[in-house]
Amino acid sequence: MTDSTFRLLQNKLHETYELQPNRFKVAFVDSVFTTVAKQLKTFPFKWYVPAAMVFALFCWIVSKVVHVGLLTRLASILQYGF
Amino acid sequence: MDSKTHLLTQIIAVLVLVLNNFSGLIFSPYKVMRKISRVFDYKQIVAIFILVFLYFLSVGLIFGHSIANFIFFLVSFFATVIFFYISGRLYKYQVSILSLVATWCYSLFPTVLWFSITAVLFILFPPPRTQSFLGTLLSLVFIGISVVLLLWKITLVYLAVRFSVKSSALMTAFLMILYGMWFLPYTYALYLFSISRVPFI
């Protein structure tokens, strides 16, 4: 085994044991957390974009039905926020 | 190689590294944040601070905002780092302050992006938004973008704390709630004193 391969393996081993695994003592929570975390580890935008669209549509529906102008008011407030 | 060429090469190398990490935070945030937490490169940190300073400078020049906001950003940034360092130490974690600085610096990427987008939109489509079709459509798109960047920011903050403090998911969430407990009143105070409406952190 070359020095570089050894160092690579050593780094991988360190990475594996660097953080304690997440255990919640409830099997269902463990499984949900593992599934969600796995999805968010690579390109999380595949979930963020639909979630944001749903949220924006929800705001739009609320602004139409319950609170007229909520959506535009929220956007205006945020636009002054920079 | 003369000193000027050497300096230029160094600057380009740092910019390439920062851009590479930025793109990595889009495609594989977990892996890249872990890498950032393990290697501290002060040049990359300086580059990100310069990027943030350029944002404050350009907003100051275009909109007349006070450049002193950059000082408040620095205060918020280092207060955040110190808070997580002390709270991590109190709970007996092996916290690395350099790792915290590096990961928090990189978690500023969605913040800079949101503030820049908002500033550009302020010029192109000045508020207030109307309830016409186009006004509602723009509001929908803007809120959508804001939510995407907020979710990404929360993920990066979570990863920054998890890798720097080396805490479990529950402990990381607890530390983030503790952080919110003093940071939200602090943000409100900044708003009351007309320093910033949305905290730059």
Question: Is the pLDDT reported for residue B146 higher than 90?
Answer: yes
Cβ–Cβ gap B30/A43 under 8 Å:
no
Confidence of residue B186 (pLDDT cuts 50, 70, 90): very high
Query: Which alpha helices (DSSP H) does A1-82 contain, by range?
Result: 3-18, 27-41, 45-65, 70-79
Question: Is the pLDDT reported for residue B155 higher than 80?
Answer: yes
Residue-wise pLDDT tens digits, A14-69: 877 778 788 888 889 999 999 999 999 999 999 999 999 999 999 989 888 887 78
Question: CB distance from A26 to chain B under 8 Å?
Answer: no
Measured distance CA(B84)–CA(B99) in Å, rounded: 11
Nearest residue, CB atoms, A56 vs list B34, B147, B151: B147
Measured distance CA(B197)–CA(B201) in Å, rounded: 12
Distances (CA, A) of B168 to A19, A42, B2, B174: 8, 20, 49, 10
Question: CB distance from B29 to chain A under 8 Å?
Answer: yes
Question: Is the pLDDT reported for residue B196 higher than 80?
Answer: yes
Measured distance CA(B45)–CA(B139) in Å, rounded: 34
ipTM of the complex: 0.87
Measured distance CA(B201)–CA(B199) in Å, rounded: 6
Question: Is the pLDDT reported for residue A8 higher than 90?
Answer: no
pLDDT at A70: 84
Cβ–Cβ gap A81/B140 under 8 Å:
no
Confidence of residue B31 (pLDDT cuts 50, 70, 90): very high
Residue-wise pLDDT tens digits, B34-74: 999 988 899 999 999 999 999 999 998 888 887 888 999 99
Residue of chain B nearest A73, judged by CA positions: B129
pLDDT at A81: 83
pLDDT at B141: 93
